[in-house]
């Protein structure tokens, strides 16, 4: 103060009429005339007056003595009646933030809420209007920087409040408010001019300036309520709240002194409705100060504690406290209740909850804090209290309340054999960290004491590492410490819940969710209270990890993002089946399937929230983009809030199948009826299966053999339960099954092929079916599943396409010439019939002799293979358990419906593996 006064007193020539606007000091006290008790800030006011008078002396000279006399002569209005302050449940405390009082309309809404509260007594804490506090700080910054635009900036502050007052008030209330507003603005101009000259503002001056926003909003709101005919007083909390500044840029309330001053204030200003300023307070020396970060919330909590109110309601612009950041997890839910400890933990980790210090005052009296949305009064909000008891079930959701993250941290790992059993090592490590002023966010140490790992903000890690290397230089050179390692680009994920304590399975579920989302954990920490489990992951994995654990605890048991490749006949049928069954799966089985993308050979349709399957074809026509497989995969896998991703390949394209290995490596599950990958080169197949077994990523391909029939799964069950496969024999082609089931009587072979083609059983070119290649691929898949290391070229195939027709130019030419070769097939059929047998086209896996083949064989009329009809498939498993009577699997083996059904079955099996109920 002295330095600023010195500058002012020696710079009167600068305060000319051209550079400083006239400041009229009224004979009233410089602060609000509505207040009755001003003793707490009298010392600061006298300093402020002295500074302001120095400013005026440049313009008025001898008038200063008169002004000083007029101020000194003003006596504070004394109440003739002392009223005792009631306490307890009769009071409810409300706090309205800047957004809530950001306009005249919103101030009216606040008044409506206050009036409609049926509590016997109400104390309402208000912040400055939205952005006003920032505007006031900007005034200080401009003045300190000697930027003369502070004058116009202050005029903008004046206009904002002036126009708001005109909207809300009239008559004497409007005149009184505007008079005080202009008075304050004039005095602020004088103070800012002094700061402009000095080039510096003391903290007390800054706090005094920025606190005016709260004074004005409280004054306006109280006037609006009085306009409704209710008795209402407003409180300058600098006269009541007394705090002690601390070294950590915070303040500690002095509850005893604040309670004494509150009782004194109330004895002169009794009312059932009190509007109090938030954010501002005074020191014991009566110097104005602020409550720092989240100061208005803190004000409300302190006032609630002083009054021992029944509750404190914090009004904001969200429906309550969310289970996770809704900007990162779009399906985060509003929590009904939180304990004080849970709110502490979540706020520490950056969640949008009250600052921990806000909770401390109300905890003393078990006063609940309710977070509510002023823009959605129907939402009940979140209650923060001692011990929530309204959980409806003993589910894991009731144990884990929420998840929060801290980004941009780095791990520091100090390790070495010389650390084990050496007292004082941890003290030396964290002493060095303290010396550089770094904040340790998390600490983890194994019981072996071989290493200590801790997390610090990334911007501080360089200084920390240098300090540690300097502190332990001798130990590092001697080898007692092996390294001081920095792991950058990390994020912290915390799971919070008071009821996690002593509850088995919570940690297992958390880590399982991360593992299944292919997230690597770099460090773990958990305190003995068990309220918090903290893990460190790579920064790029943070959001995915957050979504993974939130999905596991809060969404359906299993939420899966799907990308459909190839929306042809099978793909479109699958989409229709998913659409018809989606609601049942979600409601009855907690399986939530989201199709995030559909791609064909030319176009793709992408959606961040999930495609509406009722009109996906129209959407593809309207919003379809040029197909780009890498972008498609990137979108489905990362650009949404679902941790589990599956790509469903409904094509027969070998190029797409070649991507499976890389997709699985990226943590993307793969489901397909495409036989190309499993029947391709043996080394690639073995590599693919090895990767599948080593990771939590699944690769399902039931529909590659037998469409919707459980062929692969039956074979695996037999093997996994210790049975030994001897032989697999079957009719694997629905097309060839149909042809030979109907190749009877006087019908020619070419007629049956033509009939099958017209019925849609064959490929567009029937030679693709008659060649036997498709059956050979199925045989090689089953052979490899049985443990045989065979290549497709090792499977001899009887080709039913006459050799002269294999080079036909087109399918039409082939069909025209096929009748020329009917005689041979007719002869074979007749020979079989004469022997009481039928012709069937089969594939065989001979495990005993380690071979496979595809050929046309004859079976007795009573053989199961002779009993087929239509396009049914049939497969016989001969094993050590089923040696005398093979295990038979029979059913439709072709058609879009059954093939899509087989794919859908794999999708549900994946959901079960990921945690859905069986």
Bridge-partner residues for 52, per DSSP?
A: none
pLDDT tens, 100-154?
999 999 999 999 999 999 999 999 999 999 999 999 999 999 999 999 999 999 9
Per-residue confidence (pLDDT) for residue 42, from 0 to 100: 43
- Between these two residues, 454 and 915, which has the higher pLDDT value? 454
Euclidean distance between CA atoms 667 and 690, whole angstroms: 14
**Phi–psi pair at 407, nearest 5 degrees:** -95, 170
Euclidean distance between CA atoms 151 and 369, whole angstroms: 41
CA of residue 137 relative to chain centroid, distance: 33
pLDDT tens, 803-818?
999 998 899 999 999 9
Among 778, 789, 860, 884, the one annotated catalytic: 778
652: DSSP letter: -
- Between these two residues, 860 and 500, which has the higher pLDDT value? 860
Q: Cβ-count burial of 391 within 10 angstroms (0-12 exposed, 13-18 middle, 19+ buried)? A: middle
pLDDT of residue 76 exceeding 90: no
**Phi–psi pair at 432, nearest 5 degrees:** -65, -40
Q: Cβ-count burial of 27 within 10 angstroms (0-12 exposed, 13-18 middle, 19+ buried)? A: exposed
CA 629 to each of CA 521, 544, 626, 649, 662: distance values in angstroms, whole numbers, following the listed order? 30, 21, 10, 12, 13
242: DSSP letter: B
The band of 4, judged by pLDDT with boundaries at 50, 70 and 90, is very low
CA 792 to each of CA 720, 788, 800, 846: distance values in angstroms, whole numbers, following the listed order? 25, 12, 18, 15
Bridge-partner residues for 645, per DSSP?
A: 561
Per-residue confidence (pLDDT) for residue 34, from 0 to 100: 39
CA 74 to each of CA 40, 71, 182, 240, 432: distance values in angstroms, whole numbers, following the listed order? 16, 6, 20, 21, 57
- Closest alpha carbon to 272 in 123, 126, 125, 113: 123
Euclidean distance between CA atoms 808 and 803, whole angstroms: 10
Per-residue confidence (pLDDT) for residue 745, from 0 to 100: 83
Per-residue confidence (pLDDT) for residue 62, from 0 to 100: 33
- 619: three-class secondary structure by DSSP: helix
pLDDT tens, 386-399?
875 544 444 445 68
pLDDT of residue 238 exceeding 90: yes
Strands 591-599 vs 288-290: parallel, antiparallel or unpaired: unpaired
In this structure, the number of other CB atoms found within 10 A of the CB of residue 672 comes to: 27
In this structure, the number of other CB atoms found within 10 A of the CB of residue 837 comes to: 17
**Phi–psi pair at 406, nearest 5 degrees:** -125, 120
pLDDT of residue 715 exceeding 60: yes
716: DSSP letter: H
- Closest alpha carbon to 111 in 259, 273, 254: 273
In this structure, the number of other CB atoms found within 10 A of the CB of residue 766 comes to: 23
pLDDT tens, 731-767?
999 999 999 999 988 889 999 999 999 888 888 899 9
The band of 448, judged by pLDDT with boundaries at 50, 70 and 90, is low
How does DSSP assign 412-423, residue by residue? EEEE-GGGTT-T
Strands 625-626 vs 851-860: parallel, antiparallel or unpaired: unpaired
CA 668 to each of CA 513, 518, 699, 865: distance values in angstroms, whole numbers, following the listed order? 14, 9, 9, 39
pLDDT tens, 547-578?
888 877 876 557 899 999 999 999 999 999 99
The band of 295, judged by pLDDT with boundaries at 50, 70 and 90, is confident
Domains and CATH numbers, the chain: 91-316 (3.40.1160.10), 400-555 (3.30.2130.10), 558-706+906-914 (3.40.50.720), 711-894 (3.30.360.10)
771: DSSP letter: T
Helices 203-210 and 132-144: crossing angle in degrees, nearest 10, is 140
Q: Give the mean pLDDT of 323-340.
A: 88
C-beta of residue 893 within 8 angstroms of C-beta of residue 706: yes
Alpha carbons within 13 A on the beta-carbon side of 68: 16
- Closest alpha carbon to 217 in 362, 324, 99: 99
pLDDT of residue 602 exceeding 60: yes
The band of 628, judged by pLDDT with boundaries at 50, 70 and 90, is very high
Strands 273-277 vs 233-235: parallel, antiparallel or unpaired: parallel
Q: Give the mean pLDDT of 311-317.
A: 94
Look up tokens 């049975």; give the residue: 723
CA 677 to each of CA 450, 651, 688, 701: distance values in angstroms, whole numbers, following the listed order? 46, 12, 9, 10
Rg of the chain over Cα atoms, rounded to whole angstroms, equals 40
By percentage, how much of the chain surpasses pLDDT 70? 87
Strands 402-415 vs 483-496: parallel, antiparallel or unpaired: antiparallel
pLDDT of residue 501 exceeding 60: yes
Euclidean distance between CA atoms 800 and 741, whole angstroms: 16
The band of 528, judged by pLDDT with boundaries at 50, 70 and 90, is low
- Between these two residues, 233 and 352, which has the higher pLDDT value? 233
pLDDT tens, 759-808?
888 888 999 999 999 999 999 999 999 999 999 999 999 999 999 999 98
Instruction: Look up residue 580 and give its two tokens.
Output: 């018809």
Q: Classify each residue of 546-564 as buried b or exposed e, where b means 16 or more C-beta atoms within 10 Å of its C-beta.
A: bbbbbbbbbbbbbbbbbbb
For residue 649, give the H/E element and its range.
Answer: strand 644-649
778 is known as an active-site residue: yes
């Amino acid at each position: 103060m002295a330095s600023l006064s010195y500058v002012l007193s020696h710079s009167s020539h600068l305060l000319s009429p051209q550079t400083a606007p006239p400041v009229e000091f009224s004979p009233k006290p410089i602060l609000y005339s509505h207040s009755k008790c001003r003793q707490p800030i009298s010392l600061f006011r006298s300093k402020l007056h002295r500074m302001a008078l120095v400013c005026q002396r440049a313009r008025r000279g001898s008038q200063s003595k008169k002004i000083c006399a007029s101020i000194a002569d003003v006596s504070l209005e004394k109440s003739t009646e002392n009223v005792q302050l009631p306490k307890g449940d009769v009071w409810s405390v409300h706090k309205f933030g800047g957004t809530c009082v950001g306009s005249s309309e919103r101030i009216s809404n606040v008044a409506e809420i206050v009036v409609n509260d049926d509590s016997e007594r109400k104390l309402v804490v208000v912040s400055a209007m939205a952005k006003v506090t920032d505007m006031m700080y900007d005034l200080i910054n401009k003045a300190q920087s000697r930027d003369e635009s502070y004058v116009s900036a202050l005029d903008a502050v004046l206009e904002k409040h002036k126009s708001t007052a005109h909207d809300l008030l009239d008559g004497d209330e409007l005149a009184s408010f505007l008079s005080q507003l202009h008075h304050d603005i004039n005095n602020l101009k004088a103070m800012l001019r002094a700061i402009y000259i000095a080039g510096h503002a003391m903290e007390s001056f800054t706090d005094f300036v920025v606190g005016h926003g709260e004074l004005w909003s409280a004054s306006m709101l109280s006037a609006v309520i009085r306009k409704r005919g209710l008795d209402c007083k407003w409180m300058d909390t600098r006269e009541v709240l007394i705090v002690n500044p601390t070294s950590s840029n915070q303040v500690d309330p002095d509850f005893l002194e604040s309670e004494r001053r509150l009782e004194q204030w109330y004895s002169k200003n009794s009312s059932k409705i009190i509007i109090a300023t938030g954010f501002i307070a005074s020191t014991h020396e009566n110097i104005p100060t602020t409550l720092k970060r989240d100061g208005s919330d803190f004000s409300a909590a302190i006032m609630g504690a002083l009054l021992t109110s029944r509750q404190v309601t914090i009004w904001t612009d969200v429906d309550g406290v969310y289970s996770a950041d809704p900007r990162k997890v779009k399906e985060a839910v509003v929590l009904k209740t939180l304990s004080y400890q849970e709110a502490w933990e979540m706020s520490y980790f950056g969640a949008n909850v009250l600052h921990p210090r806000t909770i401390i005052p109300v905890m003393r009296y078990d006063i609940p804090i309710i977070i509510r949305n002023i823009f959605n009064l129907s939402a009940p909000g979140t209650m923060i209290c001692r011990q929530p008891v309204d959980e409806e079930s003993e589910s894991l959701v009731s144990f884990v309340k929420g998840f929060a993250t801290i980004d941009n941290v780095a791990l520091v790992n100090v390790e070495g054999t010389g650390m084990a059993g050496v007292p004082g090592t941890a003290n030396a490590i964290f002493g060095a960290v303290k010396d550089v002023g770094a904040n340790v966010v998390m600490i983890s140490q194994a019981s072996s004491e071989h290493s200590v790992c801790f997390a610090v903000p990334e911007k501080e890690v360089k200084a920390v590492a240098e300090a540690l290397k300097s502190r332990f230089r001798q130990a590092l050179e001697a080898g007692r410490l092996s390294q001081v390692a920095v792991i950058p680009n990390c994020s912290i994920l915390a799971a919070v819940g008071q009821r996690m304590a002593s509850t088995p399975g919570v940690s297992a579920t958390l880590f399982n969710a991360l593992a299944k989302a292919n997230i690597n954990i770099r460090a773990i920490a958990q305190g003995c209270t068990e309220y918090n489990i903290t893990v460190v992951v790579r920064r790029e994995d943070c959001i995915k990890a957050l979504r993974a654990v939130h999905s596991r605890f809060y969404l359906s048991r299993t939420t899966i993002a799907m990308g459909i490749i190839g929306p042809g006949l099978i793909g479109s049928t699958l989409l229709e089946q998913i659409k018809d069954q989606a609601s049942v799966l979600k409601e009855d089985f907690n399986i939530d399937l989201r199709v995030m993308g559909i791609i064909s050979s030319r176009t793709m349709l992408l959606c961040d929230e999930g495609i509406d399957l009722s009109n996906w074809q129209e959407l593809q026509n309207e919003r379809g983009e040029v197909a780009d497989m890498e972008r498609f995969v990137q979108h489905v896998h990362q650009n949404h809030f679902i941790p589990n991703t599956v790509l469903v390949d409904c094509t027969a394209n070998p190029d797409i199948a070649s991507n499976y290995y890389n997709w699985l490596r990226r943590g993307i599950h793969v489901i397909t009826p495409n036989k190309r990958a499993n029947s391709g080169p043996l080394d690639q197949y073995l590599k693919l299966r090895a990767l599948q077994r080593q990771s939590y990523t699944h690769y399902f391909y039931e529909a590659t053999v037998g469409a919707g029939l459980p062929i692969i799964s039956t074979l695996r069950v037999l093997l996994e339960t210790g049975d030994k496969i001897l032989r697999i024999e079957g009719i694997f082609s629905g097309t060839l099954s149909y042809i030979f089931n109907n190749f009877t009587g006087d019908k020619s072979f070419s007629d049956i092929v033509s009939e099958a083609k017209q019925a849609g059983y064959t490929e567009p070119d029937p030679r693709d079916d008659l060649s036997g290649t498709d059956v050979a691929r199925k045989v090689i898949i089953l052979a490899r599943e049985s443990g045989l290391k065979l290549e497709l070229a090792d499977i001899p195939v009887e080709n039913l396409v006459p050799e002269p027709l294999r080079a036909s130019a087109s399918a039409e030419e082939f069909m025209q010439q096929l009748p020329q070769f009917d005689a041979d097939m007719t002869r074979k059929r007749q020979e079989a019939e004469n022997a009481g047998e039928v012709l069937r086209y089969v594939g065989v896996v001979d495990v005993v002799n380690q071979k496979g083949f595809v050929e046309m064989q004859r079976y007795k009329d009573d053989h199961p293979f002779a009993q087929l009809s239509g396009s049914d498939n049939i497969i016989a498993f001969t094993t050590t358990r089923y040696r005398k009577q093979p295990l038979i699997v029979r059913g439709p083996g072709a058609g879009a419906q059954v093939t899509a059904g087989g794919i859908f079955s794999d999708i549900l099996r994946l959901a079960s593996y990921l945690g859905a109920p069986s």
